[in-house]
């Protein structure tokens, strides 16, 4: 996370899960790491001279009647309290010329990790009638090559849809939108200071080594798992996976057992 977080630290967890570290189970709360900094809009339907707020369904909040989405108009509240229509184009235009990406500065590649990534995209010269403008293509290639040779990324401010936002363009054409510092929450304090025995520290390091240290290419394996569940549900036989339980044994014993189990598992995989 960037060291320039400016938003307040989160106060409540949004959900929770349990980290399974060998045979050691660690329940953790999940807190949001970002804060919305954009102007909030609400949706209304016009009823005579009045504005009636619309829910996300969308429904009228006064009567509960379902509304055609074509009738919904987004408004924003002025400091005076008045609600005015605010379109995506107006938001974009008020922050930056829409469709114009300004290179604010160039960021050393080694410092790009200081920014918190939001969405990953790709930039390529625009196609017009199935063809690329040769001049634009050449200029883009020059920018990519220049950034590669100087080991920098371009920090670009651009309004595509909605307010202007920032993104990092790297020499391979990857464009990653990033959060601004005032949208990043300050970190909550970690756990208290504990005194661990030498054996506990050694075994914790051993368990990390046994589990493995690597930088794997990860792929989404959830779709086959969900399909497997759907298939089993169709047959009427569903086997729920048990949730890990918090061990009541002491931490050192759990670490030792975890190391033995991890070693046995690796030997079994090699044998097969």
Q: Is the pTM of this model over 0.75?
A: no
Distance CA 154, CA 163 (A): 19
Residue 30 lies in a domain: no
Q: For residue 108, count other CB atoms closer than 10 A to its CB.
A: 11
Confidence of residue 2 (pLDDT cuts 50, 70, 90): very low
Same domain? 212 vs 253:
yes
User: In the structure, how many helices (H) and strands (E) does the chain have?
Assistant: 5, 13
Buried b (16+ CB within 10 A) or exposed e, 22-59: bbbeeeeeebebbbeeeeebebbbeeeeebbebeeebe
In a domain, 167, yes or no: yes
Same domain assignment for residues 206 and 167: no
Give how many domains the chain has, as a whole number: 3
The answer to whether residue 190 sits within a structural domain is: no
Rounded-to-integer distance, Cα 235 and Cα 252, Å: 44
User: How many Cβ atoms are within 10 Å of 247's Cβ, its own excluded?
Assistant: 14
Instruction: Look at residue 110 and tell me whether its pLDDT is greater than 60.
Output: yes
Residue 1 has pLDDT above 50, yes or no: no
Residue 152 DSSP SS3:
strand
Determine phi and psi for 193, rounding to 5 degrees.
-80, 120
Of residues 18 and 62, more confidence is placed in: 62
Residue 238 CA to residue 226 CA, distance in Å, equals 12
Arithmetic mean of pLDDT, 262-269: 81
Of residues 94 and 109, the one with the higher pLDDT is 109
d(CA 96, CA 20): 46
Same domain, 264 and 205: yes
């Amino acid at each position: 996370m960037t060291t320039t977080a400016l938003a307040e630290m989160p106060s409540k967890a949004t959900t929770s899960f349990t980290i399974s570290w060998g045979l050691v189970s660690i329940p953790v709360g999940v807190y949001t790491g970002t804060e919305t900094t954009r102007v909030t809009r609400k949706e209304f339907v016009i009823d005579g001279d009045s504005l009636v707020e619309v829910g996300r369904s969308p429904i009228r909040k006064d009567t509960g009647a379902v509304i055609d989405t074509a009738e919904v108009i987004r408004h924003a509240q002025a400091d005076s309290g008045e609600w005015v229509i605010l379109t995506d184009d107006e938001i974009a235009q008020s922050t930056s010329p829409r469709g114009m990406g300004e290179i604010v500065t160039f960021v050393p590649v080694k410092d790009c990790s200081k920014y918190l990534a939001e969405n990953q995209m790709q930039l390529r010269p625009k196609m017009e009638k199935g063809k690329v403008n040769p001049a634009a293509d050449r200029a883009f290639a020059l920018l990519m090559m220049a950034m590669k040779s100087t080991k920098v990324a371009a920090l670009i401010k651009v309004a595509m849809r909605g307010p202007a936002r920032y993104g990092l363009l790297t020499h391979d054409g990857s464009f990653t939108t990033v959060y601004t510092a005032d949208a990043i929450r300050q970190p909550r304090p970690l756990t208290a200071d504990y005194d661990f025995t030498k054996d506990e520290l050694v075994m914790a390091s051993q368990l990390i080594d046994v589990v493995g240290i690597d930088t794997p290419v990860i792929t989404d394996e959830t779709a086959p798992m969900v399909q497997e569940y759907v298939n089993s549900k169709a047959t009427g036989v569903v086997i729920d996976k048990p949730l890990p339980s918090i061990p009541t044994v002491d931490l050192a014993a759990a670490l030792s057992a975890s190391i033995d189990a991890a070693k046995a598992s690796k030997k079994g995989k090699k044998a097969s």
